């Protein structure tokens, strides 16, 4: 499944098997699609989307000590902890181990290659910040090439196909534009933006939740790829730039950067919700 394919899950149509019926690859694909789609609908509609466990984002300056080897970092890093999320169409995304991004290198690349995408945030007190958002997307990863009949009208005697498709992921730190510069870019919209105050408000929210949601504002991935409306927002990164009236994209002498994650959507497990109940 391509990460930009927001039509997943497919229509809930099952294969109807009969004795002697001729089967081809599409029948088995539809069989998998039905079960995957029903699971995705359950997760999407019943539980929502967002972080299930882990996936915390940290900023580490140069010289900070790595926990895994007790050695100082030679570069500034963003680290994303392993964890699990549900994307906006109900697919499970698992990051099995920590991932790092070299923040200074990323900033140098963005300012050199995509300066038009960067419009810093001004906090009104002279502070200027480059705003970047961390997103997690689902990816299909074909594996295990095997010989097969050529597909379609291709004339070949050595055709190969992927015998397995692994569920994988893509992490992206995308620079955001602040226009006007005193207004930070919006975080992705929530399915239920506020807690209902009454039973009527809850029913009205549930009635409205079934209709397909309008497209949400998401950044373009990697500058030239189409936007991924299924991605999961993890955190916002604020990199301090030189104070106003400076208009460059040069870093502040402090080298400060901060991670804000209170706006990330979450899918809390049921046993975690039980801890919110008052003690008997």
pLDDT tens for the 280 residues of the chain, in order:
444 455 677 778 888 889 989 988 888 888 888 999 899 989 988 888 999 999 999 999 999 998 888 899 999 999 999 999 999 889 999 999 999 999 999 999 988 887 877 889 999 898 999 999 999 999 988 888 888 777 765 666 667 888 888 899 999 998 888 888 898 888 877 778 888 899 999 999 888 888 765 555 555 444 445 567 888 999 999 999 999 999 888 999 999 999 999 999 999 888 888 888 787 7
For CA atoms 154, 155, 159, 163, the dihedral sign is positive
Q: Which residues contact 111 (CB under 8 A, 6 or more apart)?
A: 118, 249
**What's the pTM value of the predicted model, to 2 decimals?**
0.86
List phi, psi (to 5°) of 252.
-70, 150
DSSP one-letter code for 254: T
Determine the Cα–Cα distance for residues 231 and 49; give it in Å rounded to an integer: 10
Determine the Cα–Cα distance for residues 217 and 207; give it in Å rounded to an integer: 23
The greatest distance separating any two alpha carbons of the chain, rounded to the nearest whole angstrom, comes to 78
Please tell me the total number of residues recorded for the chain in this structure: 280
For CA atoms 267, 226, 130, 78, the dihedral sign is positive
Question: If you write DSSP's letter for every residue of 108-156 in order, what string do you get?
Answer: HHHHHH-GGG-B-EE-SSS-EEEEEEEEEEEEEEEEEEEE-PPPTT---
pLDDT at 212: 60
Residue 66 vs residues 25, 105, 124: alpha-carbon distances, Å:
48, 19, 36
Q: Is the Cβ–Cβ distance between 12 and 42 less than 8 Å?
A: no
pLDDT at 1: 42
């Amino acid at each position: 499944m391509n990460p930009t394919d927001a039509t997943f899950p497919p229509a809930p149509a099952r294969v109807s098997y009969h004795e002697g019926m001729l089967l081809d690859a599409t029948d088995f694909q539809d069989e998998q699609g039905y079960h995957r789609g029903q699971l995705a609908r359950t997760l999407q509609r019943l539980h929502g989307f967002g972080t299930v466990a882990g996936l915390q984002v940290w900023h580490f300056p140069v010289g900070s000590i790595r926990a895994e080897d007790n050695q100082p970092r030679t570069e500034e890093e963003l680290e994303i902890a392993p964890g699990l999320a549900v994307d906006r169409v109900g697919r499970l995304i698992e990051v099995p181990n920590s991932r790092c991004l070299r923040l200074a290198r990323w900033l140098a690349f963005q300012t050199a290659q995509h300066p038009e995408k960067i419009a810093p945030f001004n906090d009104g007190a002279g502070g200027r910040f480059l705003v970047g958002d961390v997103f997690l997307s689902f990816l299909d990863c074909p594996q295990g090439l095997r010989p097969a009949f050529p597909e379609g009208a291709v004339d070949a005697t050595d055709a190969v196909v992927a015998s397995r498709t692994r569920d994988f992921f893509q992490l992206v730190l995308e620079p955001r534009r602040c226009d006007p510069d005193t207004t930070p870019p919006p975080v992705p919209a929530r399915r239920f933006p506020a807690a209902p105050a009454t039973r009527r408000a809850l029913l009205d929210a549930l009635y409205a939740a079934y209709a397909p949601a309008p497209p949400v504002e998401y950044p373009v991935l990697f500058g030239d790829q189409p936007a991924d409306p299924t991605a999961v927002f993890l955190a916002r990164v604020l990199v301090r730039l030189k104070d106003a009236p400076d208009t460059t994209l040069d870093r502040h002498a402090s080298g400060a950067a901060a991670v804000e994650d209170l706006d990330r959507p979450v899918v809390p497990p049921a046993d975690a919700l039980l801890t919110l109940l008052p003690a008997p």
